[in-house]
């Protein structure tokens, strides 16, 4: 038996702990510690930012004075003219110019010019008429010039010859070959000096498609760079991908091109060494294997921001003289709420992209980026082995006092080394793994030593209790509340443990596990029933254990609200979100108002009790499809599509956290006595068609377009489409009688027939919605669901003029084409339908 007693030896425990940490080196816990240590190192270091960089912010003041975003591009043209007069070195725009901006009046000018060109007036021989015709043509040309905002911006860019624009790549490993070659104005910035001298075989971030600026603007840009960010798993931006791969081509970031152009360098002067570095002229930028630079983020000093940030409006109006930007790198971007997406960085929880760009450009020009040296991996392995050897060979031979001193000294050395290297040498070594091994190994070895000694049962029991307390706290911190309660029950109850148990009970409440919270409070009551408000807690949790807090659509109709409003009950949580109140109920669940406490973002949370809606045999497949559809919808970024932030699952609920909107859906406006003005209806449907056109180009089909899934805010006149991806989940949802949920009133014939659903189906549903919003009736009605489905598939819709004779003929034509039975007879895409609606609206206004 003695030959197997080695497992009781201290050296074996040290070896075992070292092996466990080695296996878990890439775990979320260790990596989160590394990121936290990195952020603290950034905060502790000090560098002076480049004084050649200035930021012009599209802020709240600018929006208030110049109007809602997006502005006419004539405003941007004027800004470029102002900066050009001040002799700015280069101008970088973080705003995207993916689509042309066409003034509604410009189309009329073109139509009048075409009409004149085709009329018999051009053949007149009357000198007076010829003079009048020439004067009219000249006036039309002048009007077209004044209304063409893109042309004005293009001319200003061409004149300044120092403007850099942004493009955006859809990241992901490409399959096959691109659909078409990129425009020449993008190809000119392709990096050709790319080598793999180290033979690493590493590649930068890869992409499948790209959104470049429109040709009229892109061709006049001095250069174009990508504006893709690559946040870590915690959502924070710490690196800048200097190069993105697009099939067999490589394109620089906007920050890299700004730095290059400020130094009068061209793409041919940029040399890429795959897996190692990017060289800009004589500046060598060390990167990680994916060619990402560890950006240095400069801290504010004496209450002033690291980079001067001026209001767009102040610069445009001359309040700030243009001469201030002489020979500067000027970065223009949004900082106003709702215009740009603020991002988390090591020094800020909400930093505008233009300011992040300023930090990246300064890091490149001043060489202030952090570097993980080539020998870092060997050094980290060496330090880990030294700590492991200390735990295995040396610590077991030391007494408790000396062991604690040596462990403390080693821990301090590791921390000091980490911070000294970051603050003085800009080197990042990941030392939190050996540091964690040192602390946990020392704790476990010390605990084991006391448990195995002959110092008496009482001391051994005390040490065991302390160990269980610490393990319980650790498990509680990780959200493993059941294991934590089990550990706490092994500790003798005292006043200090009562505090710990009370917090554990509150955590169970937040997780909606009221029966388990009741068990904790009962356990506490056995020791001291008068502790705090324990009596009230017990009564509440007992009542709550019989009530569903955040359930599906079934069950007690007011259960959710009653629990949320209950005094003394902690705010419930769904994932990382605090639930504030109930907003409403849908077919599959409840919608709540929530808040992300880490960044203060208010969200709408749609819940779905999938376990109640699907059989156990298909539940796993439905969950996988749910998160796959949520990921697809989450990639959509359009002003008329509700932004999806997050998706998750907790206990019996799947949930989606999305943008919280003012206003309400359009369902109330489908009643004959509550119709919106016709111009408003046409504007809303045109915007929705734009959104569907964008989504269809991303290969995303909504499948459930109807007024109830279109949110509308009258104050901003902004519609937004909701529930992308949800319809695919609900398609297979069954009630207990096997009936498909919902109504087929808005479904297309091919959808009812079970055929493959494409974008044309959404346009048919949009046509049904337009019909109902225009007259207050549905185009197809029936006494039964079967009759309704037959009429949609086989019979023409009710003539809308029979319901509302005053509708314009152009709108009737749009509705008729949208409701065509055959896909080929409908609009080919959403953009075509939107254009028809806007032309119809314009004809009515004319």
Q: Which residues are catalytic?
A: 704
Token pair 């023409």 is at which residue? 796
Burial (0-12, 13-18, 19+ Cβ within 10 Å), 94: buried
* Spatial distance between the Cα atoms of 522 and 541, rounded to a whole number of angstroms: 10
Token pair 């709408």 is at which residue? 604
**HSE toward the beta carbon, residue 217, CA cutoff 13 A:** 27
**What SS3 class is residue 246?**
strand
* Spatial distance between the Cα atoms of 445 and 451, rounded to a whole number of angstroms: 10
Give how far the C-alpha of residue 148 lies from the chain's centroid of Cα atoms, to the nearest Å: 33
CA angle 656, 660, 663 (to 5 degrees): 130
Contacts of 304 (CB under 8 A, 6+ apart): none
DSSP of 779-807, one letter per residue? S---SSHHHHHHHHHHSPPPPGGGT-TTS
Contacts of 440 (CB under 8 A, 6+ apart): 17, 21
User: Strand locations in 274-370, DSSP E?
Assistant: 277-280, 283-286, 292-294, 309-311, 329-334, 343-345, 348-351
Instruction: Give the CA dihedral 778, 784, 790, 792, nearest 10 degrees.
Output: 10
Judging by DSSP bridges, how do beta strands 270-273 and 239-241 pair with one another?
A: unpaired
Fill in the DSSP letter of residue 531: S
* Spatial distance between the Cα atoms of 661 and 682, rounded to a whole number of angstroms: 21
CB 429 within 8 A of CB 419: no
Closest by CA position to 242, among listed 222, 218, 260: 260
Residue 763 burial (CB count, 10 A)? 27
CB 45 within 8 A of CB 461: no
* Spatial distance between the Cα atoms of 655 and 627, rounded to a whole number of angstroms: 10
Instruction: Give the CA dihedral 568, 574, 587, 716, nearest 10 degrees.
Output: 90
* Spatial distance between the Cα atoms of 459 and 125, rounded to a whole number of angstroms: 117
| Phi, psi angles (nearest 5°) of residue 221 | -75, 145
* Spatial distance between the Cα atoms of 99 and 640, rounded to a whole number of angstroms: 15
DSSP of 443-484, one letter per residue? HHHHHHHHHHSSS-HHHHHHHHHHHHHHHHHHHHHTT-HHHH
Burial (0-12, 13-18, 19+ Cβ within 10 Å), 456: exposed
């Amino acid at each position: 038996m003695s030959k197997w007693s080695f497992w009781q030896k201290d050296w074996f425990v040290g070896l075992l702990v070292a092996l466990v940490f080695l296996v878990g080196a890439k775990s979320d816990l260790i990596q989160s510690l590394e990121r936290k240590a990195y952020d603290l190192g950034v905060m502790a270091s000090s560098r002076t930012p480049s004084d050649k960089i200035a930021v012009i912010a599209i802020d709240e003041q600018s929006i208030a004075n110049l109007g809602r975003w997006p502005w006419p591009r004539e405003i941007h043209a004027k800004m470029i003219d102002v900066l050009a007069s001040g002799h700015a070195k280069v101008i970088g725009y973080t705003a995207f110019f993916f689509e042309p901006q066409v003034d509604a009046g410009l189309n009329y000018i073109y139509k009048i010019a075409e009409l004149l060109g085709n009329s018999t007036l051009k053949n007149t021989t009357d000198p007076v008429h010829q003079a009048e015709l020439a004067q009219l043509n000249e006036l039309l040309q002048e009007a077209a010039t004044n209304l063409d905002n893109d042309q004005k911006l293009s001319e200003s860019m061409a004149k300044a010859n120092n403007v850099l624009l942004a493009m955006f790549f859809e990241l992901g490993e490409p399959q096959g070959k691109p659909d078409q070659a990129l425009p020449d104005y993008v190809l000119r910035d392709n990096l050709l000096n790319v080598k793999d001298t180290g033979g690493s075989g590493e590649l930068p971030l890869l992409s499948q498609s790209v959104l470049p600026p429109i040709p009229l603007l892109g061709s006049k840009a001095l250069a174009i760079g990508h504006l893709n960010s690559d946040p870590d798993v915690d959502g924070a931006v710490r690196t800048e991908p200097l190069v993105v791969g697009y099939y067999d081509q490589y394109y620089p970031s906007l920050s890299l091109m700004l730095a290059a152009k400020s130094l009068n360098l061209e793409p041919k002067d940029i040399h890429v060494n795959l897996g190692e570095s990017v060289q800009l002229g004589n500046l060598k930028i060390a990167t990680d294997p994916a060619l990402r630079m560890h950006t240095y983020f400069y801290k504010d000093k004496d209450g002033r921001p690291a980079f001067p940030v001026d209001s767009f409006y102040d610069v445009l109006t001359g309040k700030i003289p243009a001469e201030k930007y002489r020979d500067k790198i000027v970065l223009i971007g949004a900082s106003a709420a709702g215009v740009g997406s603020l991002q988390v960085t090591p020094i800020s929880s909400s930093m505008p992209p233009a300011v992040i760009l300023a930090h990246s450009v300064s890091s490149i020009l001043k060489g202030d980026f952090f570097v993980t040296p080539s020998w870092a991996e060997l050094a980290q392995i060496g330090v880990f082995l030294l700590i492991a050897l200390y735990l295995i060979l040396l610590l077991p031979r030391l007494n408790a006092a000396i062991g604690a001193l040596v462990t403390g000294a080693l821990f301090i050395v590791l921390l000091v080394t980490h911070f000294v290297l970051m603050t003085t040498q800009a080197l990042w070594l990941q030392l939190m793994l050996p540091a964690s091994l040192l602390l946990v190994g020392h704790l476990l070895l010390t605990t084991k030593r006391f448990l195995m000694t002959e110092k008496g049962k009482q001391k051994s029991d005390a040490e065991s209790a302390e160990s269980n307390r610490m393990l319980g706290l650790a498990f509680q911190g990780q959200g493993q509340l059941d294991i934590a309660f089990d550990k706490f029950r092994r500790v003798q109850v005292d006043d200090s443990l009562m505090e710990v148990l009370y917090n554990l009970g509150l955590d169970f409440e937040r997780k909606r596990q009221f029966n388990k919270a009741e068990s904790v409070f009962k356990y506490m009551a056995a020791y001291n029933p008068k502790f705090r408000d324990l009596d009230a807690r017990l009564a509440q949790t007992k009542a709550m254990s019989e009530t569903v807090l955040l359930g599906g659509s079934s069950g007690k109709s007011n259960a959710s609200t009653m629990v949320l409003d209950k005094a003394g009950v902690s705010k419930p949580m769904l994932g990382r979100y605090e639930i504030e109140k109930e907003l409403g109920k849908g077919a599959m669940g409840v919608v709540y108002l929530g808040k992300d406490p880490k960044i203060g973002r208010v969200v709408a949370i749609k819940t779905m009790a999938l376990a109640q809606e699907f059989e156990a045999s298909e539940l796993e497949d439905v969950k996988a499809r749910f998160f796959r559809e949520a990921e697809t919808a989450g990639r959509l970024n359009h002003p008329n599509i509700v932004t999806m932030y997050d998706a998750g699952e907790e206990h019996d609920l799947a949930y989606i956290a999305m943008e919280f909107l003012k206003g309400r859906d359009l369902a109330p406006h489908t009643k004959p006595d509550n119709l919106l003005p016709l111009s408003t209806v046409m504007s809303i449907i045109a915007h929705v068609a734009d959104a569907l056109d964008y989504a269809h180009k991303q290969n995303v089909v909504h499948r459930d377009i109807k007024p109830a899934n279109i949110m509308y805010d009258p104050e901003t006149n902004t519609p937004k489409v909701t529930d992308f991806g949800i319809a695919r989940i609900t398609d297979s949802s069954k009630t207990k009688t096997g009936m498909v949920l919902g109504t087929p009133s808005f479904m297309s014939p091919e959808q009812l027939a079970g055929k493959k659903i494409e974008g044309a189906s959404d346009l048919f549903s949009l046509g049904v919605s337009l019909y109902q919003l225009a007259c207050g009736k549905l185009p197809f009605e029936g006494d039964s669901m079967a009759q309704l489905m037959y009429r949609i598939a086989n019979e023409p819709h009710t003539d809308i003029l029979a319901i509302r004779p005053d509708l314009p003929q152009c709108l009737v034509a749009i509705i008729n084409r949208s409701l065509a039975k055959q896909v080929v007879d409908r609009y080919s895409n959403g953009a075509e339908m939107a254009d028809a609606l806007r032309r119809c609206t314009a004809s009515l206004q004319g």
